[in-house]
Structure 1
Amino acid sequence: MPITTLGKLFDLESQESGGSPLFMSPTPTTDPEPISGVKTGGDGGRIPVEEWLPITESRKGNVYTATFHLLCSGIGLQVILLPAAFAALGWVWGTIILTVGFVWKLYTTWLLVHLHEAVPGIRISRFVRLAIASFGVKLGKLLAIFPVMYLSGGACTILVITGGKSIQQLLQIMSEDNTAPLTSVQCFLVFSCIAIVMSQFPNLNSLFGVSVIGAIMGVTYCTVIWILPVTSDAQKTQVRYATSDKSFVHIFNAIGLIALVFRGNNLVLEIQGTLPSDSKNPSSTTMWRAVMMSQTLIAICMFPLSVVVYWAYGDKIPATGGPVGNYLKLYTQEHSKQAACFIHLTFIFSCLCSYPINLMPACDNAEMVYTTKKQKPASIIVRMMLRVFLGMVCFSIAVVFPFLPYLAVLIGAIALLVTFTYPSFMWISIKKPQRKSPMWLFNVLMGCLGASLSVLLLVASAMHLAQKGLHANFFNP
């Protein structure tokens, strides 16, 4: 690897005079510790300050911790929107696009896993750092900061909105007069308070128990959602499957709903950073096993849910996206109150457990700024206050912009670059395969297709909003 690239990996804070250290790594030592062997217990490859930051504070993870982290962050609330995409695309194209997206995501994850230790002795445990190492300091920050921070803070904000609305729906189902005793803002606050408390674990590796619960809840509600229609009489009513609207806007908005399911690459390097690594057992081997195990379970949840729910409800499913609660209401109408309550409850727990993992990159960055300025690790009080502050920011944004789920495809189109575009170009930049070789050509093609998809989804979502309107309800969840 060229000396200039190594310099970017180590001197990530080099910037113009007077620049802010925000989103940058603290200045590493001139003699960084190599990947550890037996003597250090597989806990090396760090600059000293990394031992103070929540993502890399503990490298004692294993294949099971990584698997559950990937599961909890991978079975997102967007999975419930897949039948809506099928309602717009139909059986054939819905299945094809979902399969292509799944394989594409698996490939770019493989690239990131093997870029984590692309240079022997160096571990890149954050997506922004890999972007800087690949594209340079200025361009790397420009390309990666917004998508990564949106996928962190934006995902938590949407979890507050969706989780809060689900709490309100659950209370409404349980009440005798079919009214919720709490307002939407109060439900947002309840969800945020619980989520902030759950975010107080010191580091990413310590969130293992939360990830286990979140993964179990995610698999449970996905399974129940597709099993209920099979075992009930829902399909006996007349169902239509014809797609009436075949316009560019409608089709690409549906493709966007499918693409949003495959976010999560912003957490791959971070989760791999919790694993030990040495020359005999590199972290990439353990991480790839965790990826295969988690993605197998995600596929088992994702594909039956998409196909069976569309088979059961057909044109009853709104094909325009929007809040997840719109789709959960189908189960309130078609099934028993107990079944509807169980789905809502497991869904809420899944959202609560996903929140701390999605918030961790923002917490890590906030502590990075603190340790850079103070040259000392954040105390328990400082760490707690930073996470409370970030949680309240997400809550405030959710209250001010409760219509954000309607903008998921529009804003998410930019963040999709993290999954479908950047990893291919990062591989070319770091690994430097021979120009016009099969690997070089394939990654250029994948990167260009990913960028084109992002642009098309952005245009289609903007046109959809222009046609249908947004009905922005500021400060009125």
Structure 2
Amino acid sequence: MMGTQAPSDLQNYNSKTVDERSAKEKAIDDWLPITSSRNAKWWYSAFHNVTAMVGAGVLSLPYAMSNLGWGPGVAVMVLSWIITLYTLWQMVEMHEMVPGKRFDRYHELGQHAFGEKLGLWIVVPQQLVVEVGVDIVYMVTGGKSLYKFHELICKHRKNGHHCKDIKLTYFIMIFASAHFVLSHLPNFNSISGVSLAAAVMSLSYSTIAWGASVKKGVQEGVEYGYRAHTTPGKVFNFFASLGDVAFAYAGHNVVLEIQATIPSTPEKPSKGPMWRGVVVAYIVVALCYFPVAFIGYWMFGNSVEDNILITLENPTWLIAMANMFVVVHVIGSYQIYAMPVFDMIETVLVKKLMFRPTWYLRFFTRNVYVAFTMFVAITFPFFGGLLGFFGGFAFAPTTYFLPCIMWLAIYKPKKFSLSWIANWICIILGVLLMVIAPIGGLRQIIIQAKTYKFYS
């Protein structure tokens, strides 16, 4: 009898919490992108997570390996995969730990763990740095991949007609034009088609990257020593590459928002289908990351570029196609990371500043956001350094150790229990990563900035 009692209490509790919202609040929640649609299936979670995780960062993994070396490189890659899967599991579990309530956004969980004000201040700045940072980096990546595609097609034309040289700036603008359209899709479920295409593309270009590397074979005179020849160079590059790896595992910033789209009842909580999707996504992540990182480094050693597709020139049609796949994938990734930002902006405008939730408010704010990320991308397109800098500075906390701190604060596991030890290991490694990686990334940005001309 007791067993059947709890769910009905929960249902009453659930319906009570829903009833407590006024009609106006309910209308606003139905309008906001994160809470407006709750009918996603488990496989939506799988491809949203793949799109969020397998960014263009995968293409810089062989380069990261060339700065880390075989031993540390393999260890860092495998450890990151295990730690981030563990912290992702924690976030999926914490989504509905209070009966009848869902933490639909990362900062809501932060507020539950650290208090109303402090939770906001801890989570929101970091989450914004990650999401806006990723969108800027993806603007650069999309533009560069279009640029590379154009260059390869021009080279391939046999009839001697040289294509006109087009600035990278214009390619970033072309890439941004897609987002001026797509960013008006209202919520996560409406971008599921874009996200599915992006997930398929990430598997495709990762396979092309390692497949073409295998076909090329181990290069003559390949060297596996560190790229840099000076000790400071080796150390700083090592630090920056840790940031590159952290950037590659950055899906946590949107995981609660993705889970918010899955329906939930006391009998069937959302964590079941969400976790199934996460496991599938992580298998795909392993299939993309490990072969690209290890085979790319094995074939080219320390002469590999910070984007493996640049190192692979032939066969031209295949590499051109891979670059186009990257463009399609990054379009999806940009949208996945932009959606929580749109949600934050629209929440502040509608709930705090009392704007009416209208289509033209959404039209204006989203266009301004896309224009802003485009402008910053055009101004600072240092791809590799930006990855290392943002990777350590904001990805390490939100991905590697913030979920662990929340877990310790909320569940308070017994001292020296397995859960307590595991969380503290993740926290220590994550803090080290947060301190070390930006130092290397900043040095790379400074070195590249010396030779850089604005808007070239």
CA separation of 1:469 and 1:308: change in aligned 2, threshold 3 A: closer
- Say yes or no: does 1:52 pair with 2:42: no
CA separation of 1:250 and 1:33: change in aligned 2, threshold 3 A: farther
CA separation of 1:460 and 1:157: change in aligned 2, threshold 3 A: closer
- Say yes or no: does 1:331 pair with 2:312: yes
1:21: which partner in 2? none
Letter matched to residue 426 of structure 2: M
Structure 1 range deviating more: 301-310 or 177-186: 177-186
Question: What is the alpha-carbon distance in structure 2 between the residues aligned to residue 343 and residue 294 of structure 1?
Answer: 21
* Matched-pair contact (CA < 8 Å) for 2:141–2:383: no
Once the two structures are aligned, what percentage of the paired residues are identical?
28
- Say yes or no: does 1:235 pair with 2:218: yes
1:43: which partner in 2? none
Question: What is the alpha-carbon distance in structure 2 between the residues aligned to residue 36 and residue 331 of structure 1?
Answer: 58
Once the two structures are TM-superposed, the CA of residue 227 in structure 1 deviates from its matched residue by 0.8
2:422: which partner in 1? 442
1:9: which partner in 2? none
1:106: which partner in 2? 85
What secondary structure, in the 3-state scheme, does the structure 2 residue paired with 1:289 have? helix
CA separation of 1:240 and 1:436: change in aligned 2, threshold 3 A: closer
- Say yes or no: does 1:196 pair with 2:180: yes
* Count of residues in correspondence between the two structures: 429
1:14: which partner in 2? none
Aligned match for 2:370, one of 384, 391, 404:
391
Letter matched to residue 349 of structure 2: Y
**Which is helix-richer, 1 or 2?**
2
CA separation of 1:148 and 1:33: change in aligned 2, threshold 3 A: farther
Structure 1 segment 269-348 matched on structure 2, within 5 A: 269-318=256-305, 321=306, 324=307, 327-332=308-313, 335-348=314-327
Aligned match for 1:260, one of 231, 240, 247:
247
- Say yes or no: does 1:223 pair with 2:207: yes
Question: What is the alpha-carbon distance in structure 1 between the residues aligned to residue 219 and residue 437 of structure 2?
Answer: 36
1:118: which partner in 2? 97
Structure 1 range deviating more: 415-424 or 180-189: 180-189
Aligned match for 1:80, one of 59, 62, 69:
59
- Say yes or no: does 1:429 pair with 2:429: no
Once the two structures are TM-superposed, the CA of residue 167 in structure 1 deviates from its matched residue by 0.9
CA separation of 1:295 and 1:35: change in aligned 2, threshold 3 A: farther
Question: What is the alpha-carbon distance in structure 2 between the residues aligned to residue 392 and residue 464 of structure 1?
Answer: 26
Question: What is the alpha-carbon distance in structure 2 between the residues aligned to residue 118 and residue 136 of structure 1?
Answer: 16
CA separation of 1:178 and 1:254: change in aligned 2, threshold 3 A: farther
Letter matched to residue 190 of structure 2: S
What secondary structure, in the 3-state scheme, does the structure 2 residue paired with 1:434 have? coil
Letter matched to residue 203 of structure 1: N
Once the two structures are TM-superposed, the CA of residue 242 in structure 1 deviates from its matched residue by 2.5
Question: What is the alpha-carbon distance in structure 2 between the residues aligned to residue 251 and residue 398 of structure 1?
Answer: 25
Structure 1 range deviating more: 127-136 or 68-77: 127-136
Question: What is the alpha-carbon distance in structure 2 between the residues aligned to residue 89 and residue 257 of structure 1?
Answer: 11
1:17: which partner in 2? none
* Matched-pair contact (CA < 8 Å) for 1:152–1:358: yes
Structure 1 length-normalised TM:
0.84
Letter matched to residue 271 of structure 1: I
CA separation of 1:353 and 1:178: change in aligned 2, threshold 3 A: farther
2:192: which partner in 1? 208
**Long gaps (5+) in structure 2:** 1-10, 19-23
Once the two structures are TM-superposed, the CA of residue 369 in structure 1 deviates from its matched residue by 1.5
Letter matched to residue 438 of structure 2: L
CA separation of 1:81 and 1:129: change in aligned 2, threshold 3 A: same
Quote the RMSD (CA, aligned, Å): 2.4
Structure 2 length-normalised TM:
0.88
Question: What is the alpha-carbon distance in structure 1 between the residues aligned to residue 145 and residue 227 of structure 2?
Answer: 30
**Long gaps (5+) in structure 1:** 1-31, 41-45
1:90-147 deviation per Cα after TM superposition (whole angstroms, max 9, x unaligned): 2222111100000000000011001101111110011112112211233322222222
Letter matched to residue 352 of structure 1: I
CA separation of 1:337 and 1:438: change in aligned 2, threshold 3 A: closer
2:21: which partner in 1? none
1:406: which partner in 2? 385
1:26: which partner in 2? none
CA separation of 1:34 and 1:330: change in aligned 2, threshold 3 A: farther
CA separation of 1:89 and 1:404: change in aligned 2, threshold 3 A: closer
Question: What is the alpha-carbon distance in structure 2 between the residues aligned to residue 101 and residue 401 of structure 1?
Answer: 28
CA separation of 1:226 and 1:404: change in aligned 2, threshold 3 A: closer
